[in-house]
């Protein structure tokens, strides 16, 4: 009986502090928007909620959201399907890593946003430059985590596999891939998060659609409530993406014999 009571109590104890923090944040926001600033400089939470409903009802939000999501999905998938095999090769062959590493280290710190002028010159206006920017964004983190995943495989695991006669594709499929998979998935999750940050910036600079464009467009019409509404939606979708990939990651970790996170 005591145990039965303790479970709801523990849930309450875990849930209350985050709700409290969120509540305080919204109250401070509401207070600031009422007392210090005008509605133009900082729309109140209720005005923002209203703007979200307005954008939902007239269909604008769904359109831009789906545009942004599909750009991220395509660019991210393309990047992952090239970066994972390339990363595995770099991780396995020390010489290849030696040859490519300086180039990678020079290209990697260039902000994907800096590629936008070239992307527009090369691909024009529309989805393709955005997909290219997301490709650049996702490629390097996935490449580097894949390569380091191979390098971090336990030496005894490789030695044991060699000892039992594993080589070539058998070694790759039965040992290297499963040993690296959980770490690669972590790399995918992190780069998806970065891609979601970058897509908004890219759409603000050079695109005519997507959530980033929607925010910029709202500003041009002085609909600051819609600007903040866009920001809130970006945050919520980002959270949703992360939760989704996290739950997939946990399933994979369990399947591959690592405890969940």
Partner 1 sequence: MGSAGYDNIKIAVRDLTKLFSNNSHNLHALEAINLEVGEGEFFCLLGPSGCGKSTLLNIMAGFEKPTAGKVLIGGEEIKAPNPRYVTVFQDYGIFPWRTVQENVEFGLEIKGVNGSERENIAKEFIKLVGLCGFEKRHPYELSGGMKQRVSLARALAVNPEIIFMDEPFGAVDALTRMKLQEELVKIWGKENKTIIFVTHDIDEAIYLGDRIAVMTPVPGKIKSILEVTMSRPRIRTGSDFLGIKEKIYSEFFGLEKCQQKVKL
List residues binding partner 1 (CB under 8 A). Answer: 154, 156-157, 159-166, 170, 174-175, 178-179, 181, 255-259
Q: Which is nearer to partner 1, 178 or 193 (CB)?
A: 178
Nearest approach in angstroms of CB 256 to partner 1 is 4
Q: Which is nearer to partner 1, 109 or 168 (CB)?
A: 168
Nearer to partner 1, 137 or 145 (CB): 145
Least distance in Å: CB of 260 to partner 1? 10
**What tokens appear for 42 in the block?**
């900082």
Q: How far is the CB of 177 from partner 1 (least distance, A)?
A: 10
Min dist. Cβ of residue 187 to partner 1 (A): 17
Query: Which residue lies nearer to partner 1 by CB, 8 or 168?
Result: 168
d(CA 172, CA 168): 6
State the SS3 of the chain.
CHHHHHHHHHHHHHHHHHHHHHHHHHHHHHHHHHHCCCCCCCCCHHHHHHHHHHHHHCCHHHHHHHHHHHHHHHHHHHHHHHHHHHHHHHHHCHHHHHHHHHHHHHHCCCCHHHHHHHHHHHHCCCHHHHHHHHHHHHHHHHHHHHHHHHHCCCHHHHHHHHHCCCCHHHHHHHHHHHHHHHHHHHHHHHHHHHHHHHHHHHHHHHCCCCHHHHHHHHHHCCCHHHHHHHHHHHHHHHHHHHHHHHHHHHHHHHHCCCCCC
Task: Give least dist CB 115 to partner 1, A.
Answer: 37
- Residues whose CB is less than 8 angstroms from the CB of residue 234 and which lie 6 or more positions away in sequence, other chains included: 196, 200, 211
Pick between residue 14 and residue 156 the one whose CB is nearest to partner 1.
156
Residue whose CB is less far from partner 1, 88 or 133: 88
Least CB distance from residue 99 to partner 1, whole Å?
23
Closest approach, Cβ 180 to partner 1, in A, equals 10
Nearer residue to partner 1 within complex by CB, 245 or 252 = 252
């Amino acid at each position: 009986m005591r145990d039965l009571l303790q479970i709801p109590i523990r849930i309450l104890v875990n849930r209350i502090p985050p709700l409290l923090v969120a509540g305080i944040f919204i109250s401070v926001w509401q207070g600031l928007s009422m007392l210090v600033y005008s509605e133009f400089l900082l729309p109140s939470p209720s005005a923002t909620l209203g703007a979200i409903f307005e954008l939902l009802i007239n269909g604008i939000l769904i359109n831009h959201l789906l545009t942004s999501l599909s750009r991220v999905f395509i660019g991210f998938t393309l990047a992952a399907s090239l970066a994972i095999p390339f990363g595995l090769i770099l991780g396995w062959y020390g010489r290849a890593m030696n040859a490519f590493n300086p180039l990678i280290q020079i290209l990697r710190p260039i902000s994907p946003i800096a590629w936008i002028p070239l992307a527009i010159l090369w691909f024009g206006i529309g989805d393709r430059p955005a997909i290219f920017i997301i490709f650049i964004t996702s490629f390097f983190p996935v490449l580097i985590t894949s390569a380091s995943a191979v390098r971090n495989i336990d030496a005894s695991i490789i030695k044991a596999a060699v000892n039992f006669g594993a080589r070539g594709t058998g070694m790759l499929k039965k040992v290297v891939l499963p040993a690296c998979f959980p770490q690669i998935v972590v790399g995918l999750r992190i780069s998806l998060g970065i891609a979601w940050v970058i897509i908004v910036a890219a759409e603000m600079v050079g695109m005519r659609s997507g959530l980033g464009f929607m925010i910029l467009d709202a500003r041009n019409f002085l609909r600051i409530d819609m600007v903040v509404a866009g920001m809130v939606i970006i945050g919520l979708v980002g959270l949703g993406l992360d939760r989704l990939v996290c739950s997939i990651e946990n399933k994979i970790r369990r399947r591959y014999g690592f405890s969940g996170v």
